[in-house]
Amino acid sequence: MERTAAGGVHVAGSDREWVVGIRERLQASVKAGLEGLIRHAELAGDDRRVIMICNHALQLLTHDLDFMDRRIEAANRVGDQQVIARYKAERNLVLN
């Protein structure tokens, strides 16, 4: 086993088609569950909770632009300019 650039662990053979399929289904399931939590927090007007959930989501789905965008939108509503700048910089790193 070796470390990946994203901080995960690469296991020999983990790039096989059946493993990739399982990984993608698990990621989709996790994303759907987290999106439900985010929607609930958004409807409640709890932008700090939206940010917290997005931060947790991005620990698992490190390059998910939807979670990055929703985190930036919530941070804009909270109004902390330093945090907004950091989130935008993190998103730009993923895009480049």
| Spatial CB neighbours of 40, under 8 Å, sequence gap ≥ 6 | none
More confident residue, 96 or 70: 70
Threshold 0.75, pTM exceeds: yes
Contacts of 25-34 spanning 24+ positions with Cβ under 8 A: 27/60, 27/61, 30/57, 30/60, 30/61, 31/57, 31/61, 31/64, 34/67
Q: What total of structural domains would you count in the chain?
A: 1
CA distance 69 to 83: 13
The domain in which residue 37 lies consists of 2-95
The per-residue pLDDT for range 21-76, each reduced to its tens digit, is: 888 899 999 999 999 999 999 999 999 999 999 999 999 999 999 999 999 999 99
